[in-house]
Structure 1
Amino acid sequence: MDPARARALQATLGMEASVEAGDPLPPFFHHVYFWDPVPPARLGRDGHPATGGFVPDLGLPRRMWAAGRLLFHRPLLAGVQAEKTSVVEGVTRKTGRSGPLAFVRLRHDIKQRGGVVLSEWQDLVYREDGVAAERPRARTDETHVEEVTFDSTMLFRYSALTFNGHRIHYDQDYARQVEGYDDLVTHGPLLAQRLMLMGQAQLGRPLAQVDYRATAPLTLPHPATLCWAETDEGGDAWVRAPDGVQCMVAQIR
């Protein structure tokens, strides 16, 4: 777990680049590790590895990261060798108001020094082209807020650090003309990353569990408001767009 890669993410997020070997990594920083690069011939039209291998081909072209869950068993340390194991836990198909949908649940376990330190579930959704996403309204009862901005440079750097080739984050023509977005799309995991850093700062301790769900895309050049409300177990967190739309919700413990 090269500390330099964690420092690069800190710099991208506007943090002090401080991670050294032996330090606990900030929550969700494992996403800049465990790359799985494939050659161009094995990429889909969107720049992601084509389905039909580890993730089955479901016949639906648009891919989105819908939700995730993390259990932090103990700190993941920089500068220490780690191993990640991934499995497909389930595939389900549904028909909603927007047409056919397919959901794929992945589980990842990261081991370090002989034991599992982090368990993560990712829910991916696949859908047809030309389907507009719902735009729910966000809560307004927050007790703490943080304003964050995004630009194409940050999205490019985050894509590079996470080896995420999805063209909606850097190819404006593709994002608009093929997938129907207004502009480049801010990564869902980048929003989740911001919420987890805020949540850890608010709780004043390492995180134990996070459940999050993406509910609407945030596109450039829009900033976002990170919102926090304390609960008995930790806190609720969410991302509110300038027009009041809820982009992501999370429960942080």
Structure 2
Amino acid sequence: MTDASTLQQKCTNDNIDPARAVAFQIALGQQPSVKAGAPLPPFFHQLYFWEPHPPHELGRDGHPAVGGLIPDMGLPRRMWAGGKLTFSLPLIAGVGAEKRTSCESVQHKTGRSGPLGFVTLRHEIWQNETLCLTELQDLVYLPDEISGPSKPTLVPARQDAETISAVSFTSTLLFRYSALTFNGHRIHYDTDYARDVEGYGGLVVHGPLLAQMLMLKAEDELGPLTRFSFRATAPLIHSETASLCRKGRDLWVQGPDGRQCMVAQA
């Protein structure tokens, strides 16, 4: 494990523009409700704090190349594995905010498909000099030489849900989410790349988009969130209809074949 104290930290400032949150609500088919002075829905901070990179600093997959805050481990392929969030205070639309990011840990392991790198980033979102949100973001890095993604062991989803919500995706929604979060990862909008280079069956639904939908379901059914954690377990392809499931404070995403795609706890 790499000592996180030796790694860089960075700060990014942004104005929490309500128009961007409204655009996302509309993309999700929701009634727009965010106005200046109103609290943001949980996880909507993903729409802010863009970090544009020029073309020569991007990897083959459209993501910024590794190096700097995330050390170059010789593993250029990236997947968002999961995260943990603590909501201390709601972020307020129309007010400036600062995102402070540091690297918590870097680990090297060997999996069934070869070497793997695990990185945990710590994001703190401050507004009016007050810590509002803390997020631990877990990333996995894989070798570029793999022909196709590492195949996860498919786990059947549990069948004891108290509430189930069906959800479907379109390439338009994936494109809009990529645009609103400034996510250039080609597996979400370039079908040929996703299929021919990384071996998926089609466009891959963003892990954080699935987590976002679970958070909105949890808040709607359980009330305001103070903590939320999630872990991706299998990819979901955009042509598949998924089920958002909940029992108590446990939530999960089930694919159409019954496989577990994500687990979470509110």
Give me the TM-score of the superposition, normalised by structure 1.
0.96
Is contact 1:62–1:179 with CA below 8 Å preserved after alignment? no
Is contact 2:211–2:230 with CA below 8 Å preserved after alignment? yes
1:220 positional shift? 2.3
The Cα offsets for residues 14-71 of structure 1, whole Å up to 9 and x where unpaired, read as: 1111100111100000000000001111000000000012211111232100010000
2:157 paired residue among 117, 135, 138: 138
Aligned residue runs from structure 1 range 82-161, under 5 A: 82-128=97-143, 129-130=146-147, 131-161=150-180
1:152 positional shift? 0.3
Show the counterpart of 1:52: 67
Instruction: Find the residue that maps to 1:101 and give its secondary structure.
Output: strand
1:220 paired residue among 215, 220, 238: 238
Show the counterpart of 2:37: 22
- Structure 1 residue identity aligned to 2:190: D
Matches of 1:114 and 1:69 in 2, distance apart? 22
- Structure 1 residue identity aligned to 2:105: G
The size of the alignment, in residue pairs, is 247
1:98 positional shift? 2.7
Gaps of at least 5 residues in structure 1 are none
Q: Is 1:199 the equivalent of 2:214?
A: no
Matches of 2:122 and 2:209 in 1, distance apart? 19
Instruction: Find the residue that maps to 1:247 and give its secondary structure.
Output: strand
The Cα offsets for residues 213-234 of structure 1, whole Å up to 9 and x where unpaired, read as: 000000120011000001xxxx
Instruction: Find the residue that maps to 1:82 and give its secondary structure.
Output: strand
Show the counterpart of 1:62: 77
Instruction: Find the residue that maps to 1:51 and give its secondary structure.
Output: coil
The Cα offsets for residues 73-127 of structure 1, whole Å up to 9 and x where unpaired, read as: 0111111110000001110011122321110000000000111000000000011
Aligned residue runs from structure 1 range 3-42, under 5 A: 3-42=18-57
1:146 positional shift? 0.5
1:144 positional shift? 0.2
Is contact 1:82–1:113 with CA below 8 Å preserved after alignment? yes
Aligned residue runs from structure 1 range 68-79, under 5 A: 68-79=83-94
1:190 positional shift? 0.3
Compare 57-66 and 139-148 and name the one that shifted more.
57-66
Matches of 2:151 and 2:200 in 1, distance apart? 9
Show the counterpart of 1:167: 186
Matches of 1:109 and 1:42 in 2, distance apart? 25
Compare 93-102 and 125-134 and name the one that shifted more.
125-134
Matches of 1:45 and 1:246 in 2, distance apart? 29
Identity, % of aligned positions: 60
2:262 paired residue among 241, 245, 248: 248
Show the counterpart of 2:229: 211
- Structure 2 residue identity aligned to 1:175: A
The Cα offsets for residues 122-169 of structure 1, whole Å up to 9 and x where unpaired, read as: 000011323322221111100001011101000000000000000000
Instruction: Find the residue that maps to 2:22 and give its secondary structure.
Output: helix
**CA RMSD, 1 decimal:** 0.8
Instruction: Find the residue that maps to 1:9 and give its secondary structure.
Output: helix
Gaps of at least 5 residues in structure 2 are 1-15
Moved over 6 A (4+): none
